[in-house]
Amino acid sequence: MKKRLIALVMAALLLMSLASTAFADDETYTLTFACTISNTQPASELFEEALAEITERTDGAITFNTSYNGALGNEHDLGVNIVDGAIDMALVGPGEWANYDPAFYVFDCPFLYDNYDHFHEVLNSDLYKDFLKEKGDAIGMEVLVTVCQGMKGIINSKRPVYSPEDLNGLKIRVPDSDSLIRVQTALGGIATPIAASEQYTALSQGIIDGADHSLFAHCSWQLYDYAKYYTETNHALQTSYYVISAQTMSSLPQEYQDIIREVMAEQQEAQYDLFMDDTAGYEKTFTDNGGEIVRNDEIDHEAFNEALADIIDEFSSYDTDLYEGIRAMAE
């Protein structure tokens, strides 16, 4: 009888041990996620699904408060708050991280990627992953997902654009990012920093004449209501980083950290696939709403390359190994 009692006690202890190791920490965590984009964009819907998946896989131990449309500040504000630990997760572009390490300017370097296949190869390379890990650790953030937002072009309400000269005098909306302001200025437009959530109104009121975005973003913000001309300059591939504060990540139990990384790794491919699947749809949406597209093979490539040459030389110089490694993958 005694041996049986001991066996039962040991079995009970084993079950308790297994239950405790499944989620060793009974504490719950509410994380704040913030971004400047709309919650109606397809990317936002996928992120909401990812956050819900994290909540499910942690049995409700991690939940999220989400904030869109720049309600908690512009990208610069969000970057600062991520580093300080005031915000847990955010969507912030590489230009903002150049404020902490200029090597991030490489990712805003014009004509860095030849096409989407080139970008996808870089995205999955050790060169890229190691760079983000090293730089993120030093800054105090971790990049969970690189979001592909498409090859950038210029939309405007005035005229078709075939060369930098055609941009003269046009007020072109850009994020409040030093690198993107400088790129647009070099292209010939009057770079006008305005929050993404305000650009539709600014365009309708004539405060700006256009914007520097991918066609995906132009359509997401419905800028075609007032700007009917889009030029496929393809001068950059627009990306943003879904990041988590290092302070936040380190405060979570290891099993929760693992779950977040696993879900976000799945999310990165889902985001890329979503964008690629819908590329033709963005063009149709734009033209169906009266838009006119100037194709890449119609523009003055030599003039655009010349206009951006100094920017390319400078931005690439901040990490020549990274730049040359990325360019080598195009070959």
* Model pLDDT for residues 131-173, shown as the tens digit of each residue: 999 999 999 999 999 998 889 999 999 999 999 999 999 999 9
> Average pLDDT, stretch 98-111?
95
> Average pLDDT, stretch 182-195?
94
Task: Provide the domain limits for residue 311.
Answer: 28-328
pLDDT score, position 3 = 44
Residue 50: HSE in the Cβ half-sphere, 13 Å Cα cutoff: 25
On whether residue 179 sits in a domain, the answer given is: yes
Is residue 41 scored above 50 in pLDDT?
yes
The tally of domains found in the chain comes to 1
Is residue 289 scored above 80 in pLDDT?
yes
On whether residue 13 sits in a domain, the answer given is: no
> Distances in Å between the alpha carbon of 256 and those of 1, 17, 251?
42, 18, 10
pLDDT-based confidence at residue 103 (cuts at 50, 70, 90): very high
CA distance linking residue 154 with residue 161, whole number of Å: 8
Cα end-to-end distance, the chain, whole Å: 76
Is there a contact between 113 and 214 (Cβ–Cβ < 8 Å)?
A: no
> Distances in Å between the alpha carbon of 119 and those of 115, 237, 271, 278?
6, 8, 14, 17
Is residue 1 scored above 80 in pLDDT?
no
pLDDT score, position 300 = 97
On whether residue 7 sits in a domain, the answer given is: no
Task: Name which of 30, 94, 84, 44 is nearest 197 in CA terms.
Answer: 44
pLDDT score, position 197 = 83
On whether residue 63 sits in a domain, the answer given is: yes
Is residue 17 scored above 90 in pLDDT?
no
The residue that leads in pLDDT, 36 or 304, is 304
Is residue 9 scored above 70 in pLDDT?
no
pTM value is 0.86
Residue 168 exposed, middle or buried by CB count within 10 Å (0-12, 13-18, 19+)? exposed
On whether residue 132 sits in a domain, the answer given is: yes
CA distance linking residue 198 with residue 249, whole number of Å: 32
Could you tell me which residues come within 8 angstroms of residue 193 by beta carbon, excluding any fewer than 6 positions away?
173, 174, 175, 176, 177, 181
Token pair belonging to 185 = 């200025």
Q: Residue 48's CB: how many other CB atoms inside 10 A?
A: 14
Q: What is the CATH number of the domain that holds 61?
A: 3.40.190.170
Is residue 6 scored above 60 in pLDDT?
no
On whether residue 242 sits in a domain, the answer given is: yes
CA distance linking residue 178 with residue 183, whole number of Å: 9
On whether residue 4 sits in a domain, the answer given is: no
On whether residue 20 sits in a domain, the answer given is: no
> Distances in Å between the alpha carbon of 62 and those of 23, 65, 243?
12, 10, 16
Could you tell me which residues come within 8 angstroms of residue 113 by beta carbon, excluding any fewer than 6 positions away?
119, 122, 151, 237, 326, 330
> Average pLDDT, stretch 178-205?
93
Tens digit of each residue's pLDDT (9 = 90 or more) over 51-68: 999 999 999 999 999 999
Tens digit of each residue's pLDDT (9 = 90 or more) over 225-254: 999 999 999 999 989 999 999 999 999 999
